[in-house]
Amino acid sequence: GENVEQHPSTLSVQEGDSAVIKCTYSDSASNYFPWYKQELGKGPQLIIDIRSNVGEKKDQRIAVTLNKTAKHFSLHITETQPEDSAVYFCAAVPTSGTYKYIFGTGTRLKVLA
């Protein structure tokens, strides 16, 4: 079945450094790739997304890149801050039929002050 691999499972960086989280998907029908940030005790929050007709998207310190040929997409956070500490989930979504989200396994990011 469809799956999304996400790496690393945990990531510790010093404040001000960059963090990169990578996902690989299997379903060729996936055309939409959102990223969620989940803080402790809260629901997932959509932070950035990308569609298959775009290779890169940036929003301030956050960027996402997509290589549709290789079925890879990545989240890049620059100038990390302690408040970036959270669990991050990627997802791959087919944009026809059920729009069922296939989530990655999550990355726990710790930004050390």
Partner 1 sequence: DTEVTQTPKHLVMGMTNKKSLKCEQHMGHRAMYWYKQKAKKPPELMFVYSYEKLSINESVPSRFSPECPNSSLLNLHLHALQPEDSALYLCASMQSDRGSYEQYFGPGTRLTVT
Q: How would you list the strands of the sheet with 4-7, edge to edge? A: 4-7, 19-25, 72-77, 62-67, 56-59
Residue from 60, 83, 98, 113 that binds partner 1 (CB under 8 A)? Answer: 98
Round to whole Å and give the CA distance between 62 and 75.
Answer: 7
Q: Does 1 bind partner 1 (CB under 8 A)?
A: no
Round to whole Å and give the CA distance between 16 and 113.
Answer: 9
Q: Does 36 bind partner 1 (CB under 8 A)?
A: yes
Which 13-32 positions form the footprint of partner 1 (CB under 8 A)? 32
Residue from 46, 58, 81, 112 that binds partner 1 (CB under 8 A)? Answer: 46
CA 94 to chain centre: 16
Note whether 8 and 110 are within 8 A (CB): no
Shortest distance (Å) from residue 17 CB to partner 1 = 24
Interacting residues with partner 1 (CB under 8 A)? 32, 34, 36, 41-46, 49, 87, 89, 93, 95, 98-101, 103-106, 108
